[in-house]
């Protein structure tokens, strides 16, 4: 049940979000995008690793930006400032780039890193919310992120500045992607376990059934043997073979139709119930997402596709691609 207190709380939250939007609008209205262009250029031209470093909340943002850039193929990493001061600066060299994030531009740990980075001839870029800060003055390139104030009542908790940093970092990543002309295939290579990666990297060979998982019977077998094989694998389809060569397929749909019409002999030859010219695949390296379309390419959809190698003697069975397996892999 709604109360006046509830309405007041709702109005207060609306006011908070409106104020946050105004503070973010201040950033967009006053930020000079040419600064970001310079950083994009430096990242792309970097021959080594792009190291990001920050303390506290800025450190979390740096870690996120480094991971995002790594996911698009940029050699990047987060450099913990405390660890850097106690030996990890040894991972850095003259071909590397150091990007330091600090709201105040006066973070002691970051200022302490600068001499060590200078000794290694690293280029230093600072990203701060104070235009003429100590860190900005010690950097080769300084980027200013305009901040009117924090949404925090005391103007202390970084509840707006971190959003500004994240917007800057994610927009930077998107710009680098565009500049590198990254293809979807290249992106997928860095995301092999993700949905995009699975769709673009998985091939028929990766998913097709082989060995004991392959559902098949000899053309000289009985219908009973074919039914047993259907039940054993649950594939919904049995390859009918003569030696290593495909002679046709027998599906659970074929069985149901015969049972419904009462036109079957359980001890009869399975050859009589075999579809002799099924759809099949001859390219194991075919992308799975393309192979999925083949299940529906004929006059009627099928539940399995034999994978074969064409030889003079016939079509040698290599495996079988099952629709349910394919859909599960692409999900």
SS3 content of the chain, % helix, strand, coil (to 5): 50, 20, 30
Give residue 46's pLDDT.
97
Q: pLDDT (tens digit, 9 = 90+) per residue, 151-170?
A: 999 999 999 999 999 999 99
Q: pLDDT (tens digit, 9 = 90+) per residue, 110-131?
A: 999 999 999 999 999 999 999 9
Please give the domain boundaries of the chain with CATH numbers for all domains: 4-182 (3.40.50.10490), 204-330 (3.10.580.10)
Work out the burial of residue 22: count CB atoms within 10 Å of its CB; fewer than 13 is exposed, 13-18 middle, 19 or more buried.
Answer: exposed
Closest residue by Cα to residue 58 from 99, 91, 16: 99
Q: Is the pLDDT of residue 10 over 70?
A: no
Answer with the residue of higher pLDDT: 193 or 242: 242
Query: Among the listed ranges 86-95, 227-236, 262-271, which one has the minimum average pLDDT value?
Result: 262-271
Give residue 330's pLDDT.
87
Confidence class of residue 142 from pLDDT cuts 50, 70 and 90?
Answer: very high
Task: State if pTM tops 0.75.
Answer: no
Q: Is the pLDDT of residue 263 over 90?
A: no
Fill in the DSSP letter of residue 312: T
Q: Is the pLDDT of residue 8 over 60?
A: no
Q: Is the pLDDT of residue 326 over 60?
A: yes
Give residue 72's pLDDT.
93
Give residue 9's pLDDT.
54
Rg (CA), the chain: 31
Strand partners, 321: 305
Secondary structure of 63-98 as H, E, C letters? HHHHHHHHHCCCCEEECCHHHHHCCHHHHCCCCCEE
pLDDT (average), residues 276-297: 92
Answer with the residue of higher pLDDT: 205 or 264: 205
Q: What is the dihedral of CA 138, 139, 142, 148, to 10 degrees?
A: -40
Closest residue by Cα to residue 196 from 73, 288, 67: 288
Strand order in the sheet with 141-144: 76-78, 50-54, 97-102, 123-128, 141-144
């Amino acid at each position: 049940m709604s109360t006046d207190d509830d309405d007041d709380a709702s109005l207060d939250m609306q006011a908070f979000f409106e104020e946050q939007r105004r503070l973010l609008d201040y950033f967009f209205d006053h930020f000079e995008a040419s600064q970001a262009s310079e950083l994009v250029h430096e990242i792309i031209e970097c021959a080594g690793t792009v190291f990001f470093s920050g303390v506290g909340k800025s450190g979390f943002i740096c870690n996120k930006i480094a991971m995002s850039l790594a996911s698009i193929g940029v050699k990047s990493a987060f450099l913990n400032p405390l660890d850097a001061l106690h030996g990890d600066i040894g991972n850095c060299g003259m071909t590397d780039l150091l990007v330091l994030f600090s709201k105040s531009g006066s973070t002691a740990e970051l200022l302490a890193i600068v001499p060590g980075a200078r000794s290694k001839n690293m280029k230093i870029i600072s990203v701060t919310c104070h235009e003429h800060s100590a860190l900005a003055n010690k950097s080769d390139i300084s980027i200013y992120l305009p901040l009117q104030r924090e949404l925090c009542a005391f103007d202390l908790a970084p509840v707006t500045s971190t959003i500004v940093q994240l917007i800057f970092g994610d927009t930077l990543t998107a710009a680098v992607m565009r500049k590198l002309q990254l293809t979807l295939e290249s992106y997928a290579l860095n995301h092999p376990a993700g949905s995009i990666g699975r769709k673009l990297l998985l091939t028929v060979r990766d998913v097709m059934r082989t060995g004991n998982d392959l559902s098949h019977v000899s053309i000289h077998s009985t219908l009973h043997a074919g039914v047993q094989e259907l039940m054993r694998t649950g594939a919904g389809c049995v390859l009918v073979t003569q030696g290593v060569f495909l002679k046709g397929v027998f599906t659970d749909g074929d069985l149901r139709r015969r049972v419904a019409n009462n036109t079957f002999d359980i001890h009869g030859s399975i050859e009589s119930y075999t579809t002799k010219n099924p759809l099949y695949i001859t390219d194991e390296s075919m992308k799975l997402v393309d192979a999925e379309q083949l299940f529906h390419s004929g006059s009627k959809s099928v539940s399995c596709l034999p994978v074969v190698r064409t030889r003079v003697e016939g079509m040698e069975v290599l495996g079988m691609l099952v629709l349910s397996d394919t859909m599960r892999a692409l999900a």
